[in-house]
Structure 1
Amino acid sequence: MNKGPISQFIQHHYRHFNAAALVDAAKGYETHLLEGGKMMVTLAGAMSTAELGISFAEMIRQGKVDIISCTGANLEEDIMNLVAHTHYKRVPNYRDLSPQDEWALLEKGFNRVTDTCIPEEEAFRRIQTHIFKIWKDAETKGERYFPHEYMYKLLLSGVMKEHYEIDPKHSWMLAAAEKNIPIVVPGWEDSTMGNIFASYCIKGELKAATMKSGIEYMVWLSDWYRNNSAGKGVGFFQIGGGIAGDFPICVVPMMYQDLEWHDVPFWSYFCQISDSTTSYGSYSGAVPNEKITWGKLDINTPKFIVESDATIVAPLIFAYLLGW
């Protein structure tokens, strides 16, 4: 593939330290795919609100992502941005806000994520009516689905189209739904939609069992991994830390150690973008070699860590892989 101006700039200027690690990780990802490997991408933090979909959706469309693990927040926030983008408020001076300033934002219906305020009424409530109907219809039929499957039903039904406020090609969830990319959403309960679902359970309007659980996600993932790890294997591209990465990477040692299945391949590529620091007690900042001791990575697994801002690094790596 002929590389475009962004990729050419990266290759010419990014020669040392974290910049060089970014290039090495991108080339390693590219090689992994060219050799027939598959790739899991994990999304932590608020990457959807950071509008990662602008590059990530194209990665999905071009077949450079085979499976995704993300937090419940990232699952819903991409859709919120899709249907309520013009109502978002950017606060460039967010570091200067007083408690009184924050309270004023709350009273106006804004929930702040760093420099970006999500409009509660337009974002959450615009989705809530439709998603409740989908949850309720499934329960009435005695059906159960995973959190992302309900979101896929919502997007593919077309009921939200009239509310689209961005170019739909910039929504990674829409791209994933259209390709039916598998998603694992550990800890989905820790999200606005998870809280809304719980509220319906408390009111007796829904049953908790209508939503498939995190344990069921792990059971499903073990089956997916066994069916997709032949040949070059499955790589692991981790954006940030936390449960989005920690949960799925454990499927390998779980199968090897707990199930005693000794024919399970290790993850065959690993990269993490992180600025976390292990000496502060953060597992997310652990260097890749530590994962060897946990039975997640092999001695020979290509390993990369880019210690930088994911909102800067991830789009650059994706741009390289897309040939931009």
Structure 2
Amino acid sequence: MKNLKLEELIPLDLRKHQTVGEIVVEGMRFCSFGARMLGEVAHTLTGECRKSLKPFLIYDGKPESPLGRLLQEMVDKKWFCDLITPERYAVAPYQGGTAVVVGYFSERYEDAIFKKPDRAIFINQFEKAKPKQTQTGYYPDVIFADPYLVIPILYLTLKEYLDGETSGVASLIKFLGSFGEIGASMKEGARLAGIMFRDPEYKTILTLSGAMTPAKMGLVICDMIDFGMVDFISSTGAIQAHGLVEGMGLKHFKHDPKMSDKLLAALKLNRITDLIEPETNLDHVEKIFREVIINLDGLKHIGWIELNRMIGEYLTEHFKEQRAILKSAYEKGIPVDIPDMTNSEMFNDFFVHNQNREEKGLERLIMNAEHSTLFLRNFVLEAKRNGKKLAIFTIGGGGPRNNVQNIAPLIEIEKIHTGRSLPEVMYSMGVRICPDPEHIGSLGGCKYSENISWRKFEPDAKTAEIKADATIAWPFLVKYVMETI
């Protein structure tokens, strides 16, 4: 690692960045996934739009649409030199320069779009770009996200950097409300998040999946805990393991496409899409994990909520200057569960620790799934008995989401088969951020309305479902609540 020149990624700190432009250019640019795409393109355009030879916009949508009108305004402000359709561009005398291609374009015009400009930036949710412009783990000059979300963000960012007019996130959320389904869902998601995060009538559960901590969203989660937005967290083990890396002050890095996966394997540099996790980071995670559980009694039944609380306590004592998810959760008394208990680096460490105990003639520790289930059951039952409503804020899908939603039918079945008098448990509110379409059948794409049929959600539950890359949409919702809390 010492001789390698890899670019360090930086956790997105919403406390440091106050404006839309700062969040995007100074924050997201050093993250990963969609956030980095947005940040890097925004940074590029702040430079390109200052040049005497301005970039131009290629757009095949309706000029009278909200997006079409906003693109024309960006030309009127002289940030761009022209707004042109792909059809016109194919026959126009344009040659060279920088093109920003917004939205879908027909294959009939691909040759012109791919060959005529010196540089082309593509903004669309269809993963359309010049052949070989992107490759595995490397996505320069593209934002693979809905332009109805991205262009308003870029507009306010350029307005800040080119015209000196700053915008807070509350202004962005209001602005987005006019931009199609994605904009409306962002506005409604912010409204509902403001209620579920601030209203004491609600107990809110955060579910987390996807590589959000190596993507540098860890401090966003910390802020949700520190500002009292959530009451319970259900997470993948990977998110917490990689969050421990941040909590120790260790680093993730931007992937260099010149390094093959075969070479990375030889160097013990683990690739996660477009970023690198050095194996040495996970060695440090194992060391902490071992120190936390070394003195536990054999045959002790333990669950992830208890283990994560112990890890948080350790971080509080030994890493006082670092921010970390489990540290914040320990300090605020927020339980953190990992329902898929075997699928993470931390369980690997738990398993090997047990193997070593056995070699030494000691009793194994026992990971008991019922511990966390009983805790969650009691958590939601206590909330309902105290007259609270349940809300869920979902990043992605997967086991963490299904686990906390499944508590409703679990209690329903318990009532039927035990005869116990238990309150009815269903969610009253939900906000979900995931780009998956419903038709592929994944839990990420499953709409909240489907849960009504399972008696998991109330029939009149208030929900917002944002079909977007979480690394782009999620920080703005959290910052919106931070601004208005």
- When normalised by structure 2's length, the TM-score is 0.59
In 1, the alpha carbon distance for the partners of 2:256 and 2:265 equals 17
Match of 2:297 among 139, 153, 169: 139
Q: Does 1:310 align with 2:470?
A: yes
Verify: 1:129 aligned to 2:284, yes or no. Answer: no
The 1:207–1:135 alpha-carbon spacing in structure 2 relative to 1, beyond 3 Å, is: farther
Shift of 1:262: 5.9
SS state of the match for residue 299, structure 1? strand
Instruction: Provide the residue aligned with 1:18 in structure 2.
Output: 182
Counterpart position of 1:241: 397
Q: Judge conservation of contact 1:75–1:148 (CA < 8 Å) in 2.
A: no
1:8 aligns with 2:171: yes
Q: Which residue in the other structure is 1:149 paired with?
A: 306
The one-character-per-residue Cα deviations of 1:185-221 (angstroms, maximum 9, x if unpaired) are 111210011112222334425755x244223211221
Q: 1:90 to 1:310 in 2, by over 3 A?
A: same
Hey, what's the Cα distance between the residues in 2 that align with 1:13 and 1:133? 48
Q: For 1:312 and 1:79, how far apart are their aligned partners in 2?
A: 23
RMSD value, Cα: 2.5
Q: For 1:68 and 1:272, how far apart are their aligned partners in 2?
A: 15
Stretch deviating more after TM superposition (126-135 or 242-251): 126-135
Among candidates 59, 80, 92, match of residue 245 of structure 2: 80
Instruction: Check conservation: 1:37, 1:231, Cα contact below 8 A.
Output: no
Q: Which amino acid aligns with 1:5?
A: G
Q: CA deviation at 1:21?
A: 0.4
Distance 2:176 2:387 in 1: 35
Q: Which residue in 1 is equivalent to 2:340?
A: 187
Structure 1 length-normalised TM: 0.86
Tell me, yes or no, if structure 1 residue 109 matches structure 2 residue 263: no
Give how far 1:256 is off: 1.3
CA distance in 2, matches of 1:240, 1:316: 16
**Residue 409 of structure 2: SS of its match in structure 1?**
helix
| Percent of aligned pairs with the same amino acid | 21
| Cα distance in 2 between the residues matched to 1:148 and 1:132 | 17
Give the match's secondary structure for 1:40.
strand
Farther off after superposition, 34-43 or 6-15: 6-15
Structure 1 range deviating more: 235-244 or 260-269: 260-269
CA contact (8 A) 2:248 2:322 kept: no
Give the counterpart of 1:90 among 240, 254, 273: 254
Instruction: Work out which of the residue numbers 186, 190, 204 in structure 2 matches 1:39.
Output: 204
The 2-side partners of 1:225 and 1:273 are apart by: 23
Q: What amino acid does structure 2 have at the position aligned with 1:125? A: D
Task: Summarize deviations over 1:59-93 as a string: whole Å, max 9, x none.
Answer: 2111111110001111111011222533x221164
Q: Which moved more, 1:145-154 or 1:244-253?
A: 145-154
Q: In the superposition, relative to structure 1, how do residues 74 and 133 fare at CA in structure 2: closer, same or farther (>3 Å)?
A: same
Q: What are the ranges of 5 or more consecutive residues in structure 2 without an aligned counterpart?
A: 1-18, 20-166
Indicate if the aligned counterparts of 2:305 and 2:372 stay in contact, CA closer than 8 A.
no
Q: Is the 8 A contact 1:270 1:304 kept in 2?
A: yes
SS in 2 for 1:133: helix
Query: Deviations 1:100-131 (Å, cap 9, x if unpaired)?
Result: 8001112111111111111111x111122232
Runs (5+) with no aligned partner, structure 1: none
Q: Distance in 1 between matches of 2:313 and 2:457?
A: 37
SS in 2 for 1:259: helix
Per the alignment, residue 217 of structure 1 pairs with: 372
CA distance in 2 between partners of 1:283 and 1:59 (Å): 23
2:232 pairs with 1:56: no
Q: Which amino acid aligns with 1:215?
A: E
CA contact (8 A) 1:138 1:144 kept: no
For the pair 1:168 / 2:325, whether they are aligned, the reply is no
CA distance in 1, matches of 2:181, 2:437: 17
- Against the structure 1 CA distance between its residues 267 and 186, is the aligned structure 2 distance closer, same or farther, given a 3 Å change threshold? same
Distance in 2, Cα, partners of 1:266 & 1:159: 35
Aligned partners of 1:53, 1:287: CA distance in 2, in Å? 26
Larger radius of gyration: 2
What is the CA deviation profile of residues 132-170 of structure 1, one whole-angstrom value per residue up to 9, with x for unaligned ones?
132220125x644323433432342358846x8xx624x
Separation in 2 of the partners of 1:256 and 1:192?
34
Q: How far off its partner does 1:295 sit?
A: 0.9
Q: Is the 8 A contact 2:177 2:183 kept in 1?
A: yes
Contact residue 240 and residue 272 of structure 1 kept, 8 A = yes
Matched letter for residue 236 of structure 1: I
Give the superposition deviation at 1:35.
5.6
**CA distance in 2 between partners of 1:309 and 1:92 (Å):** 22
Q: Secondary structure at the match of 1:199?
A: helix
Q: Is the 8 A contact 1:29 1:269 kept in 2?
A: no
For residues 340 and 363 of structure 2, the distance between their equivalents in structure 1, rounded to whole angstroms, comes to 18
Contact (CA 8 Å) 2:209, 2:400: kept in 1 or not?
Answer: yes
The structure showing larger relative contact order (alpha-carbon pairs under 8 Å, at least 6 residues apart) is: 1
Whichever structure has more helix as a proportion of its residues is 1
Retained in 1: the 8 A contact 2:188–2:464? yes
